[in-house]
Amino acid sequence: DQQVKQNSPSLSVQEGRISILNCDYTNSMFDYFLWYKKYPAEGPTFLISISSIKDKNEDGRFTVFLNKSAKHLSLHIVPSQPGDSAVYFCAASGPGAGSYQLTFGKGTKLSVIP
Amino acid sequence: KAGVTQTPRYLIKTRGQQVTLSCSPISGHRSVSWYQQTPGQGLQFLFEYFSETQRNKGNFPGRFSGRQFSNSRSEMNVSTLELGDSALYLCASSLGSTLEQFFGPGTRLTVL
């Protein structure tokens, strides 16, 4: 059973517009969430994270929102740039032994159209 | 600062063989995690090592094993390879937790 779900396999956005990538989770023990970006033939690169004690974290063009009651988080990229085209993975971890592993979603492929 | 390195980058094996993959973490990082990435299942956690001890293990059969050396370098071994083991194997290092794990480029394993 997938504990972290990214229901949109792909997303296309015009350059300069906002990209919104969504992620849902089922395990209420998760208390830390991360977003990674992956280009072909490279390993995932850490983008931004958020702790469950917050509902928003911002870093430049990237903002992550967390809605704990809905078990939902989203990554906003504003403005979107062609170089943002990649696969984006949502990941989560929990307390105790669970803090030593990341549970990933299956990814959303973002295409930013010039 | 050098990133996470993985060797080899590509590997072709046949069913029944065994394989060993290597990972060198970022200098100073003591935690090394391994993940398997396949098109159907996405990224799945294999195991994590810290100071030569396995701290956590994912839901993979015993054919998948690993170890970590005193210099934090890690190896992953898969015995009796099956076609379904074909995947990208990713190694990630961190200072000691899941916070900002840094990934290597991966080893692409193909089992024929």
Q: What is chain B's pLDDT, residue by residue, as a tens digit (112 residues)?
A: 679 999 999 999 999 999 999 999 999 999 999 999 998 788 999 999 999 999 889 999 999 999 999 999 999 999 999 999 999 999 999 987 657 889 999 999 999 9
A-chain residue closest to B50, CA distance: A100
Closest by CA to A82, choosing from A63, A108, A110, A103, is A110
pLDDT number for residue A47: 95
* Cβ separation B4–A43 shorter than 8 A: yes
DSSP state of B15: T
Shortest Cα distance, chain A CAs vs residue B82, angstroms: 23
pLDDT the model gives residue B39: 81
Residue A2 pLDDT? 82
* Closest-CA distance of chain A to residue B44, Å: 7
Residue A42 is nearest to which of B45, B50, B105, comparing CB atoms? B105
Residues of B with CB under 8 A from a CB of A: 4, 31, 33, 35, 41-45, 48, 50, 55-56, 58, 90, 92, 97-106
Residue A18: both structure tokens together:
């906002």
Q: What is the C-alpha to C-alpha distance for residues A35 and A33, in angstroms, rounded to an integer?
A: 7
Q: Are A26 and A35 in contact (CB under 8 A)?
A: no
Nearest CA in chain B to A41: B105
pLDDT of residue B82: 97
Q: What is the pLDDT of residue B2?
A: 78
* Residues on chain B touching A43 (C-beta within 8 angstroms): 4, 90, 92, 103-106
The pLDDT tens digits for A15-69 are 999 999 999 999 998 999 999 999 988 899 999 999 999 999 999 999 999 999 9
Indicate the pairing of strand B10-13 with strand B107-111: parallel
The pLDDT value recorded for residue A82 is 96
A98 touches chain B (CB under 8 A): yes
Contacts of B63 (CB under 8 A, 6+ apart): B78, B79, B80
Scan for tokens 């015009």, then name that residue: A14
Q: Which of B5, B10, B41, B4 is nearest to B108 (CA)?
A: B10
Nearest chain A CA: its distance from B48 CA (Å): 7
Quote the mean pLDDT of chain A.
93
Looking at residue A97, its pLDDT comes to: 61
Name the pLDDT band for A98 (thresholds 50, 70, 90). Answer: low
- Amino acid identity for residue A32 in this structure: Y
